[in-house]
Amino acid sequence: MSAPTGITRATLLKDLRLEWRSKDAINSMLFFSLLVVVVFSFSFDPNAEESRRIAGGLIWVAILFAAVVALNQTWAREIRNQVLDAYRVSPAPANSLFLAKAIGNFIFVSVLEALMTPLFVVFYQLRPLGPVWQLLIVAALGTWALVVNGTFFAAMSLRTRSREIMLPLLLFPISIPALLGMVQATTNILTGEGARVWIALLLSYDLVFTTACLILFETVLNAE
């Protein structure tokens, strides 16, 4: 196994192991997700026909807020233990660290989605009229779009004055095309219309921004 892949794998497994043992973030996140779903269900109380048209937007807004809370604690452990200084001094490529963090966040947010989606289906009586496997592709691409930029911007906000609010302030504007794509793709699949263009948009967005993050992360890591 080449060195960068090995480092990515090691860092990812370390994060997952730490999270599994302490479970501090996952428990609060799960409860937060449940609360968000319930609050949305009170606020928007549609019948089955309307719900198919708005549920796509509601699910993704709920996932977006849950993802922001998850992303905010991405680097918390690293800051507390001066890990970033050690990483800068080591010959390890910065990309490996970024990729490990991004994949870890992706797994984390996917777990949250896996729990929130059945609740939405139940509360909104959702039955998709389009193919369900496309929903999985949209979920994966959309989550990656949020997570890759979120991990990058979380690293950029490390030394800003209001760190927790800075991440959504930076993330939301840049994510608008991806959000539009996710919501429209989900809505179209639920109502049985075509979602191919939106999926293509999400895929190209993911490719462009993953490349940009990988190229520029070293600069950001050394700039803190």
User: Whose Cβ is closer to another protein: residue 112's or residue 138's?
Assistant: 138
Residue 216 contacts another protein per CB under 8 A? yes
Site for another protein in 95-134 (CB under 8 A): none
Q: What type of residue is 106?
A: F
Q: What type of residue is 184?
A: Q
User: Whose Cβ is closer to another protein: residue 34's or residue 221's?
Assistant: 221
Least distance between another protein and beta carbon 200 (Å): 10
Concatenated DSSP letters of 162-210 = SHHHHHHHHHHHHHHHHHHHHHHHHHHHHHT---HHHHHHHHHHHHHHH
C-beta separation of 142 from 181 below 8 A = yes
Site for another protein in 160-189 (CB under 8 A): 160-162, 166, 169-170, 172-174, 176-178, 180-181, 184
Residue 212 contacts another protein per CB under 8 A? yes
CA angle 171, 36, 99 (to 5 degrees): 40
Residues engaged in binding another protein (CB under 8 A): 149, 156-162, 166, 169-170, 172-174, 176-178, 180-181, 184, 197, 201, 204-205, 208-209, 212, 216, 219-220, 223-224
